[in-house]
Amino acid sequence: MLRSLHIKNYALIEELHMNFDAGFSVITGETGAGKSIILGAINLLLGQRADVKSIRRGEKKCVIEAVFDISKYNMKSYFKENELEYDDECILRREVQSSGKSRAFINDSPSSVSQIRELGEQLIDIHSQHQNLLLNKEGFQLNVLDIIAGNEQILSEYVQVYTEWKALEKSLKKLTDLAEQSKADEDYIRFQLEQFAEANLKVGEKELLIQESETLEHAEDIKSSLYKLTQIFESDEVGLLALLKEGLLELNNLQNIYPEAEELAQRMESAVIELKDIAQEIADKSENVVYNPERLQEVENRLNIIYSLEQKHRVQSVEELMALEEDFVTRLNDITSYDERIEELTNQCAVAFDKAKSKAAQLSNSRKIAAIKIEKDLSSRLLPLGMPNVRFQIEIKQRETLSVHGEDSVSFLFSANKNGVLQNITSVASGGEIARVMLSIKAMIAGAVKLPTIIFDEIDTGVSGEIADRMADMMVEMGGLDRQVISITHLPQIAAKGSSHFKVYKLDNEEETISNIKKLNKEERIEEIANMLSGATLTDAALSNAKSLLGYK
């Protein structure tokens, strides 16, 4: 439960510190004194979006810190799962700087805003006036049913199988859409593959064809050049080989009289042999080079096929074309396997749906049992709150399709009059009646869920007199059994029932207005409640009535 709250430099608050006790506490103060500011600071602490405008004018940052006693609420597992240091005394702190930067801390360890929000939801339930609108929200109504029914485990199991079913359903739709699109492309893919099959591409083929085309186009020039080279080498009179042989003979003749000619002769003989081989190879190549217009046409036709495919598919090489062909083959294989995969996924979807449907039915049965209990309990709580003819009924219908909440569609039906027709509660209930219904629902929930702290922000709107007194009794009851209820109120009947009473007030100086709060002692409390009864003029009668409300003699 909330032990203390410290606020510094938030809105009109310079610095204040509040210590709270278990049971039922009240906060009062004139309109505009700053009660909503304190509630805003608590909401900021619990993860509400930070706004630099909330920082007190002229300051660099605001700080909100709260200390909670969590020793009796079995929360060690949460801290372990989130790798947080556990202590029976939990400290939450939020800082907002004028630069817009926001920081959150749990037990002095930096944490994310989402983390502090998640923990805060387990520590404090803040019920403000706008939350009365939740009464018409199906999600809230289902949540009430599930809390009273103790459906936490069943609901968790249902959400798991429902999520699995929806994921499979999404995958099936995606695969079906892909199959339909692919089947529309099947003829196109098969046509492309037929063209690739006809082309029968080979790695490195284009480069070889380009070279062969060049050779065939210039066959006559090549043959002529090779013939001239042959003549240079092998002419009988002035051929290079004949001259070299003559030179070699001269060197051989010199060897007897000029020994140094031997090495030169050996070298020239090697050159003659090499050049003879070159001459022979040139002669052979000359014979092989033939102008062949038919082959040239074949090569050009083949290159045209390759160039056409490259241009069509916007690639630069045969290798890229072959990779594209493999991709088409893969896509075609996928298309032919879609039916089998769709059938398998459809079966998985059906199994998952049956599981979700079974869990939804289990959840629905539990809710129907809880609905009877809630109808009876809520009616009994509303009777003493000025609704002697109240009728309350929970209508549960089956949805056409499953939702994340199950198969149930829920409506809270209400009538405050003896002969009234049961209708949707927010359509027929007044603001005061809705406030009493919400208080009764919160009281039921508090009995089912051990929430440490509940804060009511003017839940008494639209009620007064004896009804307010009964509502106060209900909040006192909720504040028992190690729970803590704090009510921000304008009604003296409710304020008088608090075991602790805080007053919010404003102080003006030459420069600014400051909001503050203090815990009232006996005399101050009598005077505050007397003011709530009589207004600005404090009368003896009001003081006497205040003492009577407080049970003082």
3-state secondary structure 488-544: ECCCHHHHCCCCEEEEEEEEECCCCEEEEEEECCHHHHHHHHHHHHHCCCCCHHHHH
* DSSP for residue 128: -
Task: Say which residue, 127 or 197, is predicted with more confidence.
Answer: 197
Q: Which of 7-21, 236-250, 360-374 has the lowest mean pLDDT?
A: 236-250
Q: How far apart are CA 348 and CA 344, in angstroms?
A: 6
Average pLDDT over residues 105-111: 90
Q: Report pLDDT digits (tens) over 350-400.
A: 999 999 999 999 999 999 999 999 999 988 888 888 888 888 899 999 999
Which is more confident, 136 or 390? 390
- How far lies 139's CA from each of 145, 356, 448, 480, 503, in Å? 10, 19, 18, 28, 36
Note the Cα 295 to chain centre separation in Å.
66
- CB atoms closer than 10 angstroms to residue 349: 20
Is the pLDDT reported for residue 132 higher than 60? Answer: no
Query: Token pair for residue 191?
Result: 């046509």
End-to-end CA distance of the chain: 32
State residue 12's pLDDT score. 87
Q: What is the pLDDT of residues 459-513, one digit of tens each?
A: 777 777 788 888 888 888 888 767 789 999 888 999 999 999 999 988 887 778 8
pLDDT of 5: 94
Give percent of the chain above pLDDT 70.
Answer: 96
Q: What is the average per-residue pLDDT within 504-533?
A: 87
Per the confidence metrics, is the pTM higher than 0.75?
no
The percent of residues in the chain predicted with pLDDT above 90, rounded, is 25
User: What integer pLDDT is reported at residue 134 of this predicted model?
Assistant: 61
User: Two tokens at 18?
Assistant: 């509040």
Q: What integer pLDDT is reported at residue 136 of this predicted model?
A: 63
Q: Which residue carries 């938030």 as its tokens?
A: 10
What are the start and end residues of each CATH 3.40.50.300 domain in the chain?
A: 1-128+450-519
Closest CA to 282 of 225, 242, 220: 225
Q: Rounded mean pLDDT of the chain?
A: 86
Structure tokens at 300: 């050009």
C-beta separation of 271 from 244 below 8 A:
yes
Segment 69-90 mean pLDDT: 85
- Superfamily for the 1-128+450-519 domain: P-loop containing nucleotide triphosphate hydrolases (3.40.50.300)
Residue whose pair of structure tokens reads 């490195």 in the numeric block? 204
